[in-house]
Amino acid sequence: MKRIGEVALALGLSVDTLRYYEKIGLVKNIQRNGSGVRCYQESDIARLRFVKRAQKIGFSLGEIASLLNFRGNPQKAKPLVRELALQKLTELEQHLKEITALRDELSQLVNLCNATPEGCPILDSFETD
C-alpha cells in the first residue's frame, strides 16, 4: 500500500507520469484512502513495471495497453502478442537500416571535410543534386 511519491521514487517515474498513466487508463482502479490519496497495491506496481519494461522494448503506450489487456487471457493472447512483437521487430530493423545509412553518409562527409583543406564539403554536398 504505497503512496504515489514512494511508487514514483521506486520506479523512477514522476508522480505526474503516474497520474497521467491513470488518466489514460493504463493503470486502473487505484485504491484511495479516506482522504482521497492513492494507495498503490503490489499488483498495481507490478503493472507499472510491466509498462516500463514494455516501453523500454519499444512499445508505445497504446500498444502496451493492448498487451495489458491480452494479459488476462494468455492462451488467446499468444498469437496476438507474437504478431505485435514481430511487427515491432520489423519496424526496429527498418529503423536500424535507415539510421545506419544516415550514419554512413554523414561519416563520409566528415571524413571528406577532414581531407579538404578549404571550403566546406558538407555544405557543398547539400547544394548539388
Can you tell me the distance from the alpha carbon of 48 to that of 7, in angstroms, rounded to the nearest whole number?
9
Question: Are 66 and 83 in contact, with CB atoms under 8 Å apart?
Answer: no
From DNA, its own copies, none, which one binds at residue 45 (CB under 5 to 8 Å depending on kind)? none
> Strand, helix or coil at 58?
coil
Q: Contact with DNA (CB under 7 A): which of 41, 43, 60, 100?
A: 60
Q: Is 38 in the site for DNA (CB under 7 A)?
A: yes
Can you tell me the distance from the alpha carbon of 103 to that of 117, in angstroms, rounded to the nearest whole number?
23
Nearer to its own copies, 33 or 73 (CB): 73
Closest CA to 121 of 106, 108, 112, 102: 112
C-alpha cell at 41: 497495491
C-alpha cell at 91: 519496424
Task: Give the contact letters, 48-87, x = binds to its own copies (CB under 8 A), - = no.
Answer: -xx--xx-xxx--------x--xx--xx-xx--xx--xx-
Q: Is 110 in the site for DNA (CB under 7 A)?
A: no
Interacting residues with its own copies (CB under 8 A): 46, 49-50, 53-54, 56-58, 67, 70-71, 74-75, 77-78, 81-82, 85-86, 88-89, 92-93, 95-96, 99-100, 102-103, 105-107, 109-110, 113, 118-120, 122-123, 125-127, 129
